[in-house]
Amino acid sequence: MRTLLGFIRKEFLQTLRDPRMRLLLFLAPCVQLSIFGLALSTEARNIRLSVVGSPSDSMLQTIYRECLASGWFISAKVSTNDPFEQVQKDEADAVMVAPPGGLDKALGRNEGQLQLLVNAINVTRGQSIERYFMLVTQSQVSTHSPISLDLRVLYNPALRSEFFLIPGVMSMLVCLITILLTSMSITKEKEVGTFETLISAPILPEEVLLGKTIPYVLLGMSNIPLIMGVAIFIFDLPLRGSIAWFFISSLVFVMCTVGIGTMISTLARNQQQAMMGGFIFLFPAMLLSGLVFPIENMPWGLRVFSYLNPLTYFIEILRNITLKGGDMRLLLFDTLILLAMAVIAIFISWRRFKTTL
């Protein structure tokens, strides 16, 4: 135990003695989360809306004013009355076009068809524009309809996209730090020549492996409260579930990512290969984790890889704890899967780790 503690102390000193490394470990994740939280959004805002029709058409103008009041749309500055040219010249993102004779008269004949031209070069933004416009028009139609709609949005009533994205960004940052640092730990020793001294010392292979992984587990866990603090105090992310379970699942996830990083380091011969191996794992893991794109929309061939991805389960755990309050059955199931992945990764690393050159 004394040998292991000395080895862990040496690893901490080696990692933290560089001021730039300390900034990378503790300051960079908070800055990155702040930037990503502000930049990443699935909401369409500042949609430039134009209207082609008579100013005396009361229903048309009412819908236009309600669109502007919704906060999603802004008034477009156009130089032509041709709706197609307004979109073609990129002067408007959407154009309302009244039917011949006006929308008021068309509604009086029960033939009201309001046309909306949408710029759908960005498919996601185009779908959002259509959805927002339908919400506004339906609210106007419902005022003249005997049917009332009682719509209740659960867990995220304000529909804030950052509440959906920030748990994924938090998982991504922790994964990035632990895998890259751990994957380069052993290869750095090989590259600078200190691995020979290490294996010639009276240290068991298990002690070397534990001494190389435990410090990074602790460093990864030290980032958890920092990143969570940024999410709560800057982005108002709720924490409706158990804090204790949040840290337990975070510990299991960090153990899993450190195990994967160690496994990569046993496969690589130098730091360049270790870094490339880390990125080869990280980019597919991020894309297939449900961070932005729903897993349910993926084909079955890719969905299998999503279910073998530790990021998938940790993101689901974070979203469940922060937004839904934490369903213990789901949390236990996902945490046990992460624990199984951690055990497998650590076992493979132990079998592949060699104390010979």
More confident call, 275 vs 294: 275
Residue 352 main-chain phi, psi, to 5 deg:
-85, -20
More confident call, 93 vs 206: 93
Rg of the chain taking only CA atoms, in angstroms = 27
Domains of the chain as residue ranges with CATH: 2-40+159-352 (no CATH), 47-142 (3.40.190)
Query: Residue holding tokens 């980032």?
Result: 223
What percent of the chain has a predicted confidence (pLDDT) above 70? Answer: 80
| CA nearest neighbour of 312 among 323, 298, 325 | 298
Mean pLDDT to the nearest integer, 173-182: 86
Contact 144, 132 (CB under 8 A): no
More confident call, 245 vs 209: 245
Separation of CA 2 from chain center = 41
- pTM, to two decimals: 0.71
For residue 187, what are the contacts with CB-CB under 8 A and spacing of at least 6?
265, 268, 269, 270, 271, 273, 274
pLDDT confidence tier of residue 141, bands split at 50, 70 and 90: low
SS (H, E, C) 153-179: CCCCCCCCHHHHHHHHHHHHHHHHHHH
More confident call, 14 vs 352: 352
pLDDT confidence tier of residue 140, bands split at 50, 70 and 90: low
Separation of CA 171 from chain center = 7
CA dist 355 and 357 (Å) reads: 7
Show the CA angle centred on residue 99, arms to residues 95 and 104, nearest 5°. 105
Tokens representing residue 348 in the block: 């493979």
